[in-house]
């Protein structure tokens, strides 16, 4: 079985208005307990799309229009690369699950790269597991007399509570994916 750790950086919170600026993924093999492959790409957007960006999103990820132009590739190229990457690594819905920090967010923007029909045709995994829920359940199970309202949901807060370093900044997709894998390894204890 494979776990696909995924993170996206975007120009805002609304997938109907905003755009993917970066995607990163790591495939982890649960049998061999090893990283199988990594993928990371910055996406070029046009000036009109960049003008719609939310200031808070750009402050968080640190992307500038110039960096997106210099380092980014067009979304069609990213789509082709991601599809080829899944095929090359034999990823399908029977052998893999996605893991994200915020599944509803990352999944919505992932659909900007590969739409639902294409995902179905490729038989890509449709299960998206979110790490904060795993941490929440394990904390409730393992901690006596804990107030459920005090269980953290942000990655850096979860890391702090567990004496794990925070995510490297600025918040970029591969930093997020690597930090998510580190948290998973240290908290879930099955990798």
Give pLDDT tens digits for 74-131: 999 999 999 999 999 999 999 999 999 999 999 999 999 999 999 999 999 999 999 9
Question: How high is the pLDDT of residue 50?
Answer: 98
Whether the Cβ atoms of residue 113 and residue 97 lie closer than 8 Å to each other: no
Within 13-172, residue ranges assigned H as helices are: 47-51, 55-61, 65-71, 75-88, 103-113, 116-122, 131-142, 155-161
Give pLDDT tens digits for 130-173: 999 999 999 999 888 899 999 999 999 999 999 999 999 989 99
Tell me: pLDDT of 191 over 90: no
Question: How high is the pLDDT of residue 59?
Answer: 96
Tell me: pLDDT of 189 over 90: no
* Domain 2-187 CATH superfamily: Ribonuclease H-like superfamily/Ribonuclease H (3.30.420.10)
Domains in the chain: boundaries: 2-187
pLDDT band per the 50, 70, 90 thresholds, residue 190: low
CA angle 127, 82, 121 (to 5 degrees): 55
pLDDT band per the 50, 70, 90 thresholds, residue 184: very high
In whole angstroms, what is the distance from residue 48 CA to residue 50 CA? 5
Give pLDDT tens digits for 11-59: 999 999 999 999 999 999 998 989 999 999 999 999 999 999 999 999 9
Please name every residue paired with 28 in a beta bridge, in sequence order, or none if there are none.
3, 35
């Amino acid at each position: 079985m494979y776990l696909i750790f995924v993170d996206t950086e975007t120009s805002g919170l609304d997938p109907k208005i905003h755009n993917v600026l970066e995607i990163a993924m790591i495939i982890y093999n649960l049998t061999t307990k090893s990283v199988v492959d990594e993928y990371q790409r910055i996406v070029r957007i046009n000036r009109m799309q960049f003008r719609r960006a939310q200031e808070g999103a750009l402050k968080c990820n640190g992307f500038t229009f110039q960096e997106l132009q210099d380092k980014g590739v067009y979304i069609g190229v990213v789509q082709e690369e991601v599809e080829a990457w899944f095929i090359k690594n034999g990823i399908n819905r029977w052998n893999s699950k996605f893991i994200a920090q915020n599944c509803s967010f990352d999944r919505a923007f992932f659909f900007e790269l590969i739409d639902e029909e294409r995902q179905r045709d490729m038989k890509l995994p449709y299960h998206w597991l979110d790490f904060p829920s795993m941490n929440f359940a394990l904390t409730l199970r393992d901690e006596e007399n804990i107030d459920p309202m005090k269980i953290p949901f942000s990655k850096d807060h979860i890391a702090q509570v567990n004496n794990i370093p925070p995510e490297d900044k600025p918040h970029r997709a591969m930093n997020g994916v690597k930090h998510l894998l580190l948290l998973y390894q240290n908290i879930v204890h099955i990798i």
